[in-house]
Amino acid sequence: MHIEEAPEADPVNQEAPKETISPFEEVKGMNYTSAVNILIQASNAAQGAGVLSVRDSVLLAGAAEFLTKTIKEDEKA
């Protein structure tokens, strides 16, 4: 039986551990753009898991497009 040794840690490429932030704190800093992005990510996850009907997928995609179009129009103004 051959046992492989774990690779040694590379001190050059080590990243500092990321601080865990409570979602309750994170939501306090939410703005319109981040809220839309979160909804789009949740929609993509649901669609990827196969839990949405075709109708739901089309409606979510249309809503996301509408909201992101609104953001772009607001940025131009």
Domain borders along the chain are 53-77
Query: In the predicted model, what is the mean pLDDT of residues 48-64?
Result: 92
Please report the pLDDT score of residue 2 as a whole number.
Answer: 52
**Residue 6 pLDDT exceeds 60:** no
pLDDT of the residue at 73: 76
Name which of 9-13, 18-22, 56-60, 65-69 the model is least confident about.
9-13
pLDDT for 51: 94
pLDDT in tens, 8-28: 655 566 676 778 889 898 889
Q: What is the DSSP string of the chain?
A: ---PPPPPP-TTSPPPPPPP--HHHHGGG--HHHHHHHHHHHHHHHHHTT-S-HHHHHHHHHHHHHHHHHHHHHHH-
